[in-house]
Structures are given as structure tokens and as C-alpha cells.
Structure 1
């Protein structure tokens, strides 16, 4: 797999790094089919065959609640003598209940399936899995052993028995069973993902990381999932992921893919100096050639506040490919930091010409327009971006900030901040930005309780949570707490110098405390993480 594909996989799988995959585009044929089903059911709500078919379509769309409703009605109206269709409907309902984690209900249907078809391998495996999830380990073990009797080479049986062994605290047996499963198909990446899940269950994160890396090196089929799992582990145990990748690099020092993954994960955790070292290694030793390497270097140097070096790298990336919409967004950010606002606006507009629906480009354009004094045009851009992403809390915060501070439209600004509070987000996550919205709405006591709870329950794995808490307290006028959070963030390695020293956007920044002598003292004391 080349580095471009690895980059796309990381971007789409690494929500922790602030990227979001686009929703799947509607399929006109499928939509027409659903309308046809609805028309038939409008004529006859008891049409069991149509209910069954629509339930299956909902199931394929992962819309399990609607699928369950339809299949329940289908079974209600299906003739008792139509045994074949009823059997298929029971199978479908069992699958739906498994996906909904309604294991007790699933077991009832699986028992019916197995009574009608005792050799049904899949149903026995599903029942064993459901029993395991319910904590009924002896019964689960019996089903997995039954699978093994029917097929001595069954990986499903081996991994099922391994999971039970972990729950029985027999970790040695779990390892042995997993290794037996791997030996059956060592050239298939899926087997390493499955062993990794058992190792994670057993608390062996280092072993799980090694397996995810093996999955990536074995074939391309499961690379996105393996990358996603590495990113998830890095959230709580960054050192073990980096250690695993470093071991892989020592064993295959000419494999640019490993350097790239390590660099992307380091960059995602704001460890920019380590990321730069790996990106440079790939380029300087000709391990791979991909414009995204220079774009990533530009992002790292930008975060470190080294804007001229960032500009050189992004210009190279732009010149090396036509697929460069996002690179123009990065260049717009760099030019804005350099004070070249006309150029920043031009770059954002070029990005929008290439990708008109890019919210990153719309925001970059709005921020450049603000610097040029065009707050009305900036507001229009942000309104368009909000229509594209109505559930993005930070975007609502930016829009409210522009309406309040630049457009002097307090009522509209408050509506934007209220929108943040209405979003269907976990309230106690820092990136719900709930406290920042409450602060703007003069609900400071609620806002203070929010940030205190976030800090109390969140494992701040790379300092970003404490950085945002420092922003909150700086904006709230509590400089002592702001500096306490700043010190904690820097200690954890949050090396985004641009955010610390330059960023003034959206009242989500530390600008109010930058003139305090404690601020420059903390940055100086932690200069090593910025390469200063």
C-alpha cells in the first residue's frame, strides 16, 4: 500500500485527529426501491413479504431499529405453514438483535434456528457469541467446542474459546488458542486483528499493537481498521503504539510505510518534532515519494510557529499534484499567520474552486475576510459552512463570535451559541465546546461546572484537553487556573506553538493571559518540545 492510501486510511479512521469521513451519498435506485415498498404497504399494511424485504434492506443499511420493527410485523403476518420464509425471517431477526446487542432476544431466535437446522454453523457461533456477551461463559464455551468438533480448523471456535479463557483468567490457554488460529492462515490480515482483540481483552496492549502492525504488513484488506485501532490505543497509551512501530522499523528499516504511520500518529498527538524527523527520513532516504509528505511537514512547521519553512513545504506540495485542494487551505492558514491576508484569501478561494463544498476552505476564506475587514462576507461563508455541517460545535462557536464581535448582532450570535447547547453531543467532552458557549451566554456558573467535570473525568493523553481548559479559564478571567492548565498541558507535550502564542480565533484561545510574565516563562521552560 502506498503512502497516499495510508494517509487516506488514517484520515478517515482517525477521528481523534479532528477529521471526519463524509456520509455515503444516497443511491437513487435504493431510494426508489424503498418508495416502492412503502407504496405496497400503503395498499396493504399486512403484506408480510414486502415487510420482510424492506426489513432486509434496512438491515443492509445498518438501520436496525426500523429493520426490527418491520421483521416483527412480517413474522406476525406470515402464514404459519410458510416454514421456509419464517425460517429466513427468524434468521434475519436474530442478526438484527445481535447488531443491537439484544442478546437475550437473539438467543431465542437462534435456538429456534438450531432446532430446525441443528447443523447451522453460523447460528451456533452467534449463540456462543451472545452467551459470551451475557457473561454465560460455560454455555458459550460449550457452543464454541461444538463448532470445533464440527470443524477442527475453525478459527471462530478457537478465538471464541480464547475469549472465554481470558474471562476465566486462563491467559496462557488464551495465548495458545490464538496462536493456533494464526497458524491456520498466517497470510490473512484478519487473523491478526482477531488475535489483537483477544490480547486487548487480556490487557496485552503491546501484543495487540504488534498484531495490528502485522495486519497492515500482511495485506491491504484490513489496513483502515488496523490503523483505526492503533489510533484508538494511542489515545490512552501513546508510548506502546510508538514502541511497536519503532520495533517494526528496526526490523524493516527501509519500509517507508512504518515511518509514515509513526509520523502521522505523532503529529496527531502534537509531537511535531518526532513527526518531522520521520517525514524527513522518508524523503531524504527516498523511501517513498508523495506530495502529502511535504503537506504534513508544512502542518507540523506551522504548528511549531515556523511559518516560512511551512510555506516552502506547502508550495512544493501544491506544485507536485493537481489534487491539492486541502494544500491550498493549509497555505491560506500559513499566509494568514504571516499577515499576508490577500494571499490567504486567494488560496482559500482556489481551494473552493477545486472543492466548492469544502468547509475547511470556507472557514479559511471567512477568517481571511475578517482580517481584510470584510465581516459581512465572512459571515456569509460561515453560514454556508454551517448548512454543510449543522452539528459542528466549533463552527457554531466561530460563527457566533463573528456575529457578536464583528457584526454586532447579539441576538443572532446568541442563537448560534444556543445551537451548540442543543447539539446531540456528549456534554462532558471537551470538544463539545459547551462551556465556551455557556460563557458567551453569560451562564458562567454552568460553564465552570462543565469545565471542572471535563477535567475530572477525561484522560488527557496529549495535553490538548488542558490546553482547551487553559483557553476556557483565560477567557473566563481566571488566570491562576488558566496557568495551572497551561503547565499541565505543556508537561504532557502539547507542542502547538501557534495555538499558544498566535491564535486569536473565536474566543477559544489563551490571548487574555499572553501578557502575563508567567506565560512567557512557561513557554521558555518548555521550549524543547517546540524545538526552540
Structure 2
């Protein structure tokens, strides 16, 4: 079967950015989810770090607020407990306790505390009383009691009708309840009170979009953009409406603008929502942004992600390599490895993931990726070893045990697999695949009754056919053929574009004995881009199909196709070169001579640094003597002050880095404030070199790299 890569894997999936992930939410000037907003409202809008003027100036309460400001929540709670013991009528203390309890997701006690705050707060303090009611409304929302939440919001507005934060969150609740006309009343009220209210206009635009009135939505977003042309969400939300209207050029331009401002998450999401016939348009726009911003790797990464989502793996690899050349980050190597794995190019995938691991040897995602590559390439013991390493680092996560159990299962290690499946179930009793694996192992051991119970558990958990379903196999094992076939077909119908679903279908019908249908589904899987041929040749589900002439003919056909795909861009034969570079011990560190933009310097070899860093003294010297140019600065922030000095945190592009005869172009470096800080050579250089060894007795670096 198509093995399940557990959904709880740590890394971002296709269509997600490496840092900010998922659908856009609007924080500060952006919409926020009501579950998250509780803490934000307490800590930001109630000014937790500032003592209310009307609050009693007691020692314990003052100290509590100081500790909260420092982030010492436990100490703050200790002072608040003492405060309540001495001054039980301090409503502000009760409110602060509610904040800390909500922050710990102790919503029941937070509700008790906010109720006490409402009783004890001075009625004349309208601001705090209103926000106490609004905070309780959030707690009711979390509890699913929208009626009480609405009542509290109405009470809050009655007490303080002009509080923009309360109006905004009240409008959010009405929006989530699909009461768009009522939400519009709130947002119009915000705009009337403040004609420059971004959230008011954005709320009106979002409600118009939800109601299908895309022209009106665009009109509202236009107002926002006219007032604040650097507000990324105005563009990303407007792009959403343009997409609905089929105005793809306008939509893609807005997405490029939004991404260029702050890598807006919503804009990133909508990169993947264009129809297939608009792929060329989107790619061309991204390439244009890459040309305009040659030192920003993200544009090539977006291209790689987009190609990967369309299963154009060779194109994705090319773009990811370009991103890595700009910024040597292991996430780009991981993407290259993922794509090469999809193409069945396991040796190249293993090389890429190993290089990434040299940069981040303890990264869990890289360990799991390497394990799966090894397993798919046929090195089952290697896969088990890597999953064991993964488990050692995160023993409380079920996924490591499930994946190790899967490979033990496929190598005949029945007892070990059964033990791992049981551990996965103990850590996560809701994961259906673990029960399926357990059922198969129990059947192998002749424990039929226990196996049937495991299969029934699969069916209990996996009720909605989707890309991650496995209930069809459980139905089949239970002898319920009709239900099994019906479920399998629903999985395929749920997403008929997914090649993995057709591969699952091939495995399923092979198990069932319908080899003609199994072959048809396997062909469709190949047509849709499935290229994991080694898995096809070793999957025990396809054992019956592999014995047929039709299977052999199909494999010959698609092996030839795969070879043609791989030769679309001729690969340059790479050879390894071993370079030895002398170093000088420097206070426990390693110092190596180099030149940067033809300026002779020495750097400290630092495998723990992420990028190259240099002091302001070095950077200012390079700028004032022509070794750095203004076009070498990355980003649009203020980089040079009134004295002509480079600001701390500025990112510069080093055009040429040369040491020991190794030459690299376009290396990023960060300027640090410490005037005596040495030049540190970090992973943005080291990751592009290959394997690095330190020969301390010989006082030399040994670098093995491809050329």
C-alpha cells in the first residue's frame, strides 16, 4: 500500500512557508482567531504591564505586574495569590490571575477569576469593566456558548461603546457565526468612529467576499491600500476576490506585492490556488521578482514549491538549487531530496539529505526524511536505524514508532513491528494506520481474534474517505468486500488528482485478486506522476500483480519514460575534490585566511553559526573603501545611518568569498554591533562546500566537495 507519512511530521508541507505556516490570520492590524485572541486581549488591551491608575498600589500587585512583564509567570502568580489573600477585593488582581490562567489554557479557572474581576472592579472604570466582559465573552466563545458570548459583548459595548478592540473582536464573532449584516453594523461603527480604521474596512471587505459580492470587497480593500500602501493583507485579501472573478493578472500582481512586503501567509496560500492553465503566468511573475531581488532566496523557493505541488519535480529541483545558491539553508536541500525521492532518484536524494544533515545534524525532519529515503531505496535496516535515532530524540512522539514498525513489518521483524505499533497506539490511540499494522502482524502470528479487533478499530477511526485513509484494507481483512470496494472508490473520488490514491487502488485490487483493475489503477498512478518504482517492486500488496506480463510491460514502458524525463536537462557529471586548508588556532577556535570581495581577511570557522557575520567596523571599512556597494545590501530597511555607518542586523551580499582556492559567489552576511566581533564563517558558506573535517594535529581543514 501507499505507506502513510504521518501527518504530525514536524516540517512544513507543500504549499506552506518554512517559517510562517498556513492560512493568514491578521494580528495587530490583522484578524485573529477567537481562541488565540483571548491572551492577546488580556495582555495587550488590558495593559497588563502597566498598573491601572485606579488600582490599589500594593506591594504584591506591583511586583506581580513586574514579574509578568519579565515573563516570569509562576512568580507573578505567587505574588497575586498573596495579593488576593491580603486584598480580596482587588478586581485588577483577579483580572491578572485570569490572564495567567488563560495563558496556561486553564479556561475553567480563568472564567472563575474573570467573574470575580467583574464583581470587584470599580464600576466607574468603564474601560476595564468593558474589557472584563469582552474577555469573558472570549471564554464563552472557546466553550462554544455563543449566546452568552454575544450577551457579554453587548454589555461591553454598552459600557464603553467606542472601544475599537472590543468592536473588532465582536465583529469577528459575528463573522464566524455568518451573521454578516450584523458584523457590518459593527465594522461601519468602527469606520464612523475612525475613518482610518483599517480593521473596519477590512472587516467590511471580508464580509462582502463571504457574501459573494466581490466588487464590493475589492472596493473596501482599495480604501485600505490607498491609506496604507505597505499593508500586505490589503493586497492578499484583494487577490482572493480577483481570483474569484477570474482576474488572474490582477490577482497575481497583488500576491507578488503582498509577498514582497512581508511574505504574507495568505498571499503564499493563494499562489497554489490558480488553475493549472495559469501556472506559466504565476511562474513568470515569480521569476521576475527573483530577478528584481537577486539576493532573496524565497522567490526561487516559491517557484520550487509551486512546481512540486504540480508534481513537476525536475523543475522544482532546479528552482530549489537556485534558492540554495542564494542562501544555503537546509530546507532547500530537503525539498531537493523530497523531489528526487518522488522521482525514484534515491542516491541523489540521499546525497542531498546528508548534506542538509551536515548543516543540522539533530534536525528531526531531516532524520525522518533520510529514514524514508533509505527505506524506499531498499536499505530497510538503514531506515530502521534512522527511525531509532529519531525515537531516541523524541521518545514521546507516536510517529517514530509507527514508521519504524512499518519498516520492521516489511522486513519480516514481526515481533518488533508489533511492539512498535503498540507503542504508537499507546502514545496516540486515534491513529488508524497503527491499528492496521498491528492487525496485519497479529494475523501473521495467527492471532486472528485480536487481529479482527484491531481491524474493527481502524474502521471506527477512519470514517471519512480521504487521501490518508486505510479503512478499505481493514474492511477487506474482515471479509466485507463490498464495503471495502465502496470505501476505496470513495477515496479515489475524493481526490482524483492524487497519484497516491490510484497507487493505493492498485494495491487494494491486487490484494482483492482483481489484477486487471489493479493494473489499470497502477497505470493511472504512473500517468499522474507516481515514480517510486522501487517501492512498487518491493510492496507485498502487489506481489500477485508483479507476476503478470501486463505489469512487466507497464514497468518497461514507464522506466523508459522516467529515463526520458530525467534527460530533459542533461546532468553534468560531478567529481569530488579534496582540498586541505591550513588554519591557525585562535583561543580554542579555528582561524583561516580568506578574501571577501578581494579584501584580505581572516575568519573564524564556526559550524554553529547560521550565516556569515562581520562587525560594524569591518562592514563600515568595506563600504567606505569600495569593497561593498549599496546594491550589495539585502532588504529595504534603513541600512546606513546619518554618519554613513551600517546599522546592526543589516544583511549584506558578499559577491566573492575565496579561501584556500575555493570560490563562492553571493554569500549572505549579517552585521553585528560588537566592534571586536570576529568574522564568523557560518552555514551559509559551509553548507555549500560539502563534507568538512577538522584535522587538529595537522592544523588543517579537509573539505571534500563536488566540482
- What band does the TM-score fall into relative to the shorter chain? 0.7 to 0.9
Partner Cα separation in structure 2 for residue 99 and residue 63 of structure 1: 12
State whether structure 2 residue 288 is matched by structure 1 residue 247.
Answer: no
- Of structures 1 and 2, the larger Rg is shown by 2
The 1:165–1:528 alpha-carbon spacing in structure 2 relative to 1, beyond 3 Å, is same
Aligned equivalent of 1:144? 187
Displacement of 1:484 in angstroms is: 4.3
Displacement of 1:181 in angstroms is: 0.9
* Larger helix share, 1 or 2: 1
Contact 1:209 1:241 in 2 (8 A): no
State whether structure 2 residue 534 is matched by structure 1 residue 495.
Answer: no
Aligned equivalent of 1:280? 321
The 1:356–1:9 alpha-carbon spacing in structure 2 relative to 1, beyond 3 Å, is farther
Deviations 1:135-171 (A, max 9, x none): 6555544433322121111112212232344467653
Displacement of 1:247 in angstroms is: 1.4
Report the TM-score when normalising by structure 1.
0.74
SS of aligned partner of 2:195: coil
Partner Cα separation in structure 2 for residue 451 and residue 371 of structure 1: 23
2:501 aligned to which of 420, 441, 465:
465
Deviations 1:154-203 (A, max 9, x none): 11221223234446765334323212212333334444444455556767
Aligned equivalent of 2:440? 401
2:484 aligned to which of 427, 441, 447:
447
The 1:314–1:166 alpha-carbon spacing in structure 2 relative to 1, beyond 3 Å, is closer
Displacement of 1:260 in angstroms is: 1.8
Number of residue equivalences: 494
Partner Cα separation in structure 2 for residue 431 and residue 463 of structure 1: 13
The 1:395–1:86 alpha-carbon spacing in structure 2 relative to 1, beyond 3 Å, is same
Displacement of 1:339 in angstroms is: 4.0
Which consecutive unaligned segments of at least 5 residues does structure 2 have? 1-10, 24-70, 85-90, 567-707
The 1:271–1:325 alpha-carbon spacing in structure 2 relative to 1, beyond 3 Å, is same
Tell which deviates more after alignment, 81-90 or 186-195: 81-90
Partner Cα separation in structure 2 for residue 320 and residue 134 of structure 1: 47
State whether structure 2 residue 373 is matched by structure 1 residue 313.
Answer: no
Partner Cα separation in structure 2 for residue 100 and residue 204 of structure 1: 41
1:115 aligned to which of 155, 158, 173:
158
1:185 aligned to which of 228, 233, 245:
228
Displacement of 1:422 in angstroms is: 3.1
Deviations 1:453-503 (A, max 9, x none): 3344x1434333333233333322333443444444444x23242476235
Displacement of 1:230 in angstroms is: 4.4
Aligned equivalent of 2:686? none
Displacement of 1:57 in angstroms is: 6.1
Aligned equivalent of 2:214? 171
Deviations 1:190-228 (A, max 9, x none): 4444445555676767766655554443236x55x655x
Aligned equivalent of 1:411? 449
2:303 aligned to which of 262, 266, 284:
262
Partner Cα separation in structure 1 for residue 316 and residue 20 of structure 2: 19
State whether structure 2 residue 337 is matched by structure 1 residue 301.
Answer: no
Contact 2:286 2:302 in 1 (8 A): no
State whether structure 2 residue 511 is matched by structure 1 residue 475.
Answer: yes
Partner Cα separation in structure 1 for residue 470 and residue 77 of structure 2: 41
SS of aligned partner of 1:153: coil
Contact 1:430 1:465 in 2 (8 A): yes
Contact 1:71 1:89 in 2 (8 A): no
1:516 aligned to which of 548, 560, 568:
548
Partner Cα separation in structure 2 for residue 393 and residue 345 of structure 1: 21
SS of aligned partner of 1:495: coil
Contact 2:398 2:424 in 1 (8 A): yes
SS of aligned partner of 2:449: helix
Contact 1:162 1:198 in 2 (8 A): no
Contact 1:325 1:350 in 2 (8 A): no
Contact 1:464 1:494 in 2 (8 A): no
Contact 1:192 1:214 in 2 (8 A): yes
Aligned equivalent of 1:19? none
The 1:327–1:142 alpha-carbon spacing in structure 2 relative to 1, beyond 3 Å, is closer
Partner Cα separation in structure 2 for residue 355 and residue 123 of structure 1: 42
Contact 1:249 1:259 in 2 (8 A): yes
The 1:279–1:138 alpha-carbon spacing in structure 2 relative to 1, beyond 3 Å, is closer
Partner Cα separation in structure 2 for residue 240 and residue 114 of structure 1: 47
Partner Cα separation in structure 1 for residue 243 and residue 106 of structure 2: 29
Tell which deviates more after alignment, 131-140 or 185-194: 131-140
1:387 aligned to which of 418, 421, 426:
426
Partner Cα separation in structure 2 for residue 204 and residue 105 of structure 1: 42
Tell which deviates more after alignment, 80-89 or 142-151: 80-89
Contact 1:397 1:420 in 2 (8 A): yes
Partner Cα separation in structure 1 for residue 473 and residue 410 of structure 2: 23
* Larger strand share, 1 or 2: 2
Displacement of 1:386 in angstroms is: 3.1
Aligned equivalent of 2:695? none
Aligned equivalent of 1:20? none
